[in-house]
Amino acid sequence: MKILVTGAAGFIGFYLAEKLASLGHSVVGLDSINDYYDVNLKYARLSHSGIKQEQIQYGKRIESKSLSNYSFIKLDLTDSEEVSALFAGEQFDCVCNLAAQAGVRYSIENPRSYIDSNIAGFLNILEACKTNAVKHLVFASSSSVYGMNEKVPFSVADAVDHPISLYAATKRSNELMAYTYSHLFNIPATGLRFFTVYGPWGRPDMAYFKFAKSIFENKPIEIYNNGNMLRDFTYIDDIIDGTIAAIDRIPQKNPVFDSLNPKPSQSSAPFAVYNLGNSKPVKLLDFIETLEKAMGRTAKKSFLGMQPGDVPATMADIDKTHTDLGWEPKTTIDNGIKQFAKWFLEYYKKGEAG
């Protein structure tokens, strides 16, 4: 298959593009390489994929030096003309949209960037999929769509009408937009609700990464809600396996959809949504203790209250994911943190962080 992976300089997109290319697919990676977090890390990921920083120019396609069937193009999804031209020229079989303005708290401070990237940019993806008859659109949603839900585990059968951050609202909007295009234009689309993804090459704005950096620099770590948080930490390798399983399963119209009693987990269109989570939430203080052991250092701790946009607990119900995709996570939190800590210490001790 010819597959477009947007967000290819990002955490999940970087892994997915490499894995798909290693499986023999023809992969085009796309990213705007914005400065929401350290661009040196983004360029380091691309370098790992055989894309050299000095070759990157806006709109120029670059062939990987190490992956024979992978190429990269720096492009902003809000650039509708360039996006349309790319789709028309490549005729992708599948599109994996992982590009987005991420971050819950940042969405409170910089709302417009979320509308531009997550709404306008996603609309350009949908329009291009429609025009070029893309066979399957897979896109990143988020566990944040569950918002004020206190019932755990979170199920795709639950209503998700009460987001508590603009980031969550844009991710839910993506699901609704994709469903609408799926209904109107028969575009098979699959949304993936990721739960707290972690691992090597991760995002510096994520709490676990900030913890590691503060421990490494012997600075206090800020622990919100006094540490009384539960998070469904999900290792990157498991996320990639689940995403590829979703790519391989093109959704069909549900023949038992009842328009008199519509359910969130069913669709009259070729559309599906799945949770990708570990389904074993970890208390934040326990996670930090495991991270301390893996890094061989003790953290200085600063306890703070609940932050706007945060929820006290996340946990994925993955029954539907297992049934439909045959997927379940395999990585324990101990093994996952060890792998992350090993990479983190090597990366920062080498000075690759810039």
Residues involved in catalysis? 167
Contacts of 305 (CB under 8 A, 6+ apart): 224, 225, 226
Instruction: Give the strands of the sheet with 70-74, arranged side by side.
Output: 61-63, 70-74, 26-31, 2-6, 94-97, 136-142, 189-194, 271-276
CA angle 331, 332, 337 (to 5 degrees): 95
Output phi, psi for 227, to 5 deg.
Answer: 85, 0
Distance CA(247)–CA(265), nearest Å, equals 18
Residue 104 tokens read as 């819950």
Burial category of 165 from C-beta neighbours within 10 Å (exposed 0-12, middle 13-18, buried 19 and up):
buried
Local structure of residue 115 (DSSP, 8 states): I
Cross-strand pairs, 283? 230
- Beta-strand ranges (E) seen in the chain are 2-6, 26-31, 61-63, 70-74, 94-97, 136-142, 189-194, 197-198, 220-223, 230-231, 234-235, 271-276, 282-283, 300-303
Question: CA-based angle 96:324:190, to the nearest 5?
Answer: 25
What's phi and psi for 141, nearest 5 deg?
Answer: -110, -150
Amino acid sitting at position 162: H
